[in-house]
Amino acid sequence: MRALGVDIGGSGIKAAPVDVAAGRLLAERQKIDTPQPSTPKAVADVVAELCRSFGWSGPVGITFPGVVVDGTTRTAANVDHAWIGLDARALLAGATGLEVSVVNDADAAGMAEMAFGAGKGVAGTVLVLTFGTGIGSALFIDGTLVPNTEFGHVEIHGKDAEKRASEHAREMQDLSWGKWAGRVDEYLQHMEALLSPGLIIIGGGVSKKSDKFVPLLTGIQARIAPAAMLNDAGIVGAAMHAYPEWTGYKRAGGRETAGP
């Protein structure tokens, strides 16, 4: 089974066709900067352009950086607020002329990591965190997704954690890897106190540089693992979401479960 995975982020929109059963890209991914302002129409036009660039005519899975419930985007912290309360699935289906599904971006990345990456076969509580423009989160309990957690907005020192500890914050504030790792460590300690995960998977754009900061995260009892799929996880997870009936990623009892 194949689907086009489209990963909408605060700074860029990436896409590639995906072999859903194998969890791998079938072509080199393409990326276009997220329009500024990132209004629904402007973003939808970019998604449609990416679909055309691959000559795609099949199903499309699309991530969104916010809460998504039944195709409606409920929050929009890092994109234009016109997305709030919008039927994004209808908008994007109309723009592309294709069958689309829409899922929270970190949930998609987590789905891919649990099915094919660092979380494969791991039982218990697993927390997947993506560090990029903001901080995305996906929580799994024995492989079952608890959707739309949005833990990047947990407050640390009176501010959303992502304002202090995202990759964007590191770049904008010109933080050293050590200084930034200290902020991430503090955030992870807070999340560990709340959730007691057995495994924390670190993903997002910064995952490809995990050797620079993961060894500095010393205040956590949980095992910490870099995302095995790096920054492709969102694309793969988006494509998986386009095939919920696939046995490797199934919706059980209204919930979404990753696994064989």
- In angstroms, the CA 190 to CA 138 distance is 16
- Is the CB of residue 84 less than 8 Å from the CB of residue 75? yes
Say what the pLDDT of residue 63 is: 98
Residue range 32-43: mean pLDDT, rounded: 98
Binned at pLDDT 50, 70 and 90, residue 231 comes out as confident
Considering its fold, how many domains does the chain have in total?
2
- Is the CB of residue 147 less than 8 Å from the CB of residue 185? no
- In angstroms, the CA 35 to CA 44 distance is 10
pLDDT digits (tens, 9 = 90+) for 99-137: 999 999 999 999 999 999 999 999 999 999 999 989 999
In a shared domain, residues 119 and 145? yes
In a shared domain, residues 61 and 141? no
In a shared domain, residues 225 and 250? no
In a shared domain, residues 201 and 115? yes
Q: Is the pLDDT of residue 24 over 80?
A: yes
* Higher-pLDDT residue of 10, 138: 138
Is residue 213, in this structure, part of any structural domain at all? yes
Binned at pLDDT 50, 70 and 90, residue 244 comes out as confident
In a shared domain, residues 198 and 250? no
Say what the pLDDT of residue 257 is: 53
Rama region for 140: left / alpha / beta (φ>0; ψ in -120 to 50; rest): beta
In a shared domain, residues 139 and 225? yes
Binned at pLDDT 50, 70 and 90, residue 146 comes out as very high
Residue range 138-152: mean pLDDT, rounded: 95
Binned at pLDDT 50, 70 and 90, residue 246 comes out as low
Say what the pLDDT of residue 260 is: 42
In a shared domain, residues 157 and 224? yes
The per-residue pLDDT of the chain, averaged, comes to 93
In a shared domain, residues 65 and 124? no
In a shared domain, residues 227 and 242? no
What DSSP element (H or E) covers 167?
Answer: helix 167-172
In a shared domain, residues 131 and 63? no
In a shared domain, residues 182 and 241? no
Q: Is the pLDDT of residue 252 over 60?
A: no
- In terms of residue numbers, what domain contains 173? 108-231
Residue 178 sits in a domain whose CATH number is 3.30.420.40
In a shared domain, residues 117 and 226? yes
pLDDT digits (tens, 9 = 90+) for 196-214: 999 999 998 898 899 999 9
